[in-house]
Amino acid sequence: MKVVAFLLAVVFFVVAVLYVAGLMQFGAATPGRHVKHAVLFAILGALSLVWMRFGAGPERAR
């Protein structure tokens, strides 16, 4: 699951870059750069990295 989390993080960061560069328009009302979309996907990327750090599982500290 760590690999899945890492791959998801990479995909989300790439999508964020594409939105902020204005190269991706999916789900956007107007053409151009989409900072909101980029921030959202950057946050999802960061959360995927956190998931990877947690070992991609529900293990608990003792």
Partner 1 sequence: MTWFQAMLLAVLQGASELFPVSSLGHTVLVPALLRWHVDRTDPTFLAFVVALHLGTALALVAFYADDWARIVRALVASVVRGKLSDDPCEKLGWLLVVGTIPVALLGVFFQEPVRRFFGSSAIVSCFLIVNAFIMFAGEALRRRASGSRELDRLTWSDAVKVGCSQGAALLPGISRSGSSIVAGLLLGLRHDDAARYSFLLATPVILAASVLEIPKLFEPAAHAALAQSAAGCVLAGVTAYASVAFLTRWFHSHDLRPFGWYCLIFGSSCLALALAKVIS
Residues that bind partner 1 (CB under 8 A): 27, 29, 35-37, 39-40, 43-44, 47, 50, 53-55, 58-61
To the nearest whole angstrom, how small is the minimum distance from the Cβ of residue 10 to partner 1?
Answer: 18
Residue 57 CB contacts under 8 Å (≥ 6 apart), including other chains: 1
Closer of 10 and 39 to partner 1 (Cβ): 39
Closer residue to partner 1, CB minimum distance, 4 or 50:
50
Distance separating alpha carbons of residues 34 and 16, to the nearest angstrom: 9
> Backbone phi, then psi, for 22, in 5-degree steps?
80, 15
